[in-house]
């Protein structure tokens, strides 16, 4: 039977596992296996905006290892609608003020923070302090300092942390990573990636308000281009230079419109990325010593599509990426499988985001990156 340290005792007690075991006079090992084998993990979504409504909640109807157990919302009217639609009991419904009392709710194992970016750190830290595992939407936060604070809170409270990088669970992404790893087309020499859309909506939306978003296209879509540049080469970059372009300053008053950046890698490979709120882009192309491969679309909700210089067209059965992502995290918690999008990956990407903004502020000056020792590659 697993030896109980004070830290693991506290963690189990917080999750209600220990209490149930003691009450039922059940050995701890049995209680753990009951929790792990007999029940799906309960997820509470925090913030019921567009992504929760149209992607995460429907995906949670398709997951095998977790389910939609609770909601946290600042909009009273949403409580009844969600409760009815997803059969959520009133004891599992919270608002932003009473959220911390979720510590006492045994139905909730994982809190998934789906709020504007500047609110991620606060709610992730509160979730960790309540003894809940955490999924934090991308970008992980609005600064490296905030990423550090989230990671620290999760470590101190002995809970697992993952970033909502759904592409890390996508089969096309993983096929591309295999090409890179196995050098199927030789060495990757140059990667081109773009991620953007044309923003036309309400100029007062939070994505265009730096105090809530932390930045514009780069914070929103740019993290996809950063990720594709990294898994397209299988390496963390060693340096970055960046440029910003503005054509609609009246609309993009507070946040970046279009950014391009070039990465250098230790083995001599180069990557070029473009991210924009004023141009469409959804592509990853890897030029190699012996051919090429590409994904287009590369990071939309799917199905993703791929081609290679051999003419092969990659084909995988379509499944919601978010369902795969949440199941991957649930399996990590329940079965100890790899955390495919750990907090350190979100922090690494925020280090790169900050370096890109610094390069722009310094007129495109190259910024050196020391990410090699972070242990996170793609
Ligand atoms: P949204 O605007 O549709 O929803 C935001 C939610 O936050 C709403 O429920 C709103 O009521 C709530 N909220 C609380 N305080 C707020 C405030 N001060 N201002 C504005 N809204 C406030 O946004 P969304 O598209 O659901 O995005 C939420 C998060 O999810 C963001 O971090 C975003 O980057 C991320 N996201 C990720 C993906 C992905 O593919 N992984 C896709 C979309 C969004």
Choosing from 159, 187, 212, the residue where a domain stops is: 159
- Distance (Å, rounded) from C-alpha 48 to C-alpha 57? 9
pLDDT score, position 218: 98
Choosing from 159, 184, 207, the residue where a domain stops is: 159
Residues 72 and 203 in one domain: no
Residues 58 and 118 in one domain: yes
Residue 352's pLDDT band, with cuts at 50, 70 and 90, is very high
The answer to whether 169 and 321 have CB atoms below 8 angstroms apart is yes
User: Residues 298-308: pLDDT tens digits?
Assistant: 999 989 999 99
Evaluate: CB of 216 within 6 angstroms of ligand 1: no
Residues 16 and 147 in one domain: yes
- Distance (Å, rounded) from C-alpha 364 to C-alpha 107? 50
Residue 375's pLDDT band, with cuts at 50, 70 and 90, is low
Residue 328 lies in a domain: no
Evaluate: CB of 320 within 6 angstroms of ligand 1: no
Residue 364 lies in a domain: yes
The SS3 of residue 91 is helix
CA-closest candidate to residue 51, choices 325, 276, 283, 315: 325
Residues 239 and 310 in one domain: yes
Choosing from 159, 183, 214, the residue where a domain stops is: 159
Cα 49 to middle of ligand 1, angstroms? 5
Token pair for residue 223? 């993290």
Evaluate: CB of 116 within 6 angstroms of ligand 1: yes
If one counts the domains in the chain, the total is: 2
Q: Using CB atoms within 10 A of its CB, is residue 132 exposed (0-12), middle (13-18) or buried (19+)?
A: buried
Q: Give the number of the atom of ligand 1 that is nearest the alpha carbon of residue 53.
A: 26
Mean pLDDT for the chain overall = 91
Model-level pTM?
Answer: 0.91
The SS3 of residue 337 is coil
Q: Give the number of the atom of ligand 1 that is nearest the alpha carbon of residue 78.
A: 9
The answer to whether 114 and 135 have CB atoms below 8 angstroms apart is no
Evaluate: CB of 170 within 6 angstroms of ligand 1: no
Domain that holds residue 30: 6-159
Q: Which residues of 193-216 are buried (b: 16+ CB within 10 A; e: fewer)?
A: bbbbbebeeeeeebbbbbebbbbb
Evaluate: CB of 208 within 6 angstroms of ligand 1: no
Q: Give the number of the atom of ligand 1 that is nearest the alpha carbon of residue 166.
A: 41
């Amino acid at each position: 039977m697993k030896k109980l340290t004070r830290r693991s005792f506290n963690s189990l007690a917080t999750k209600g596992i220990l209490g149930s075991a003691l009450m039922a006079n059940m050995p701890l090992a049995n209680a753990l296996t009951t929790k792990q084998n007999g029940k799906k993990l309960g997820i509470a979504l925090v913030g019921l905006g567009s992504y929760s409504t149209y992607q995460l909640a429907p995906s949670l109807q398709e997951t095998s290892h977790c389910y939609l157990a609770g909601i946290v919302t600042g909009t009273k009217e949403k409580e009844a609608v969600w409760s009815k639609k997803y059969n959520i009991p009133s004891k599992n419904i919270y608002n932003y003020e009473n959220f911390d009392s979720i510590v006492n709710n045994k139905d909730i194992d994982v809190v998934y923070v789906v709020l504007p970016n500047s609110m991620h750190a606060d709610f992730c830290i509160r979730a960790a302090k309540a003894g809940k595992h955490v999924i934090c939407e991308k970008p992980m936060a609005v600064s490296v300092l905030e990423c550090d604070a989230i990671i620290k809170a999760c470590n101190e409270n002995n809970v697992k942390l993952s970033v909502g990088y759904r592409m890390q669970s996508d089969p096309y992404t993983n096929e591309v990573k295999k090409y890179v790893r196995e050098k199927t087309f030789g060495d990757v020499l140059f990667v081109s990636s773009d991620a953007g859309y044309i923003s036309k909506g309400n100029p007062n939306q939070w994505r265009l308000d730096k105090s809530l978003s932390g930045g514009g296209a780069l914070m929103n879509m740019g993290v996809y281009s950063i990720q594709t540049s990294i898994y397209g080469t299988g390496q963390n970059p060693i340096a970055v230079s960046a440029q910003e372009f503005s054509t609609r300053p009246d609309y993009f008053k507070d946040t970046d419109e279009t950014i391009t950046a070039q990465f250098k890698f230790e083995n001599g490979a180069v990557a070029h990325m473009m991210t924009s709120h004023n141009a469409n882009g959804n592509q990853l192309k890897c030029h190699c010593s012996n051919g090429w491969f590409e994904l287009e679309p590369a990071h939309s909700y799917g199905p993703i599509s791929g081609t290679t210089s051999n003419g092969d067209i990659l084909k995988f059965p379509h499944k919601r990426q978010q369902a795969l992502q949440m199941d991957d995290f649930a399996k990590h918690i329940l079965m100890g499988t790899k955390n495919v999008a750990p907090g350190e990956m979100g922090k690494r990407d925020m280090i790169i985001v900050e370096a890109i903004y610094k390069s722009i502020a310094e007129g495109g000056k190259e910024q050196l990156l020391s990410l090699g020792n972070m242990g996170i590659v793609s």
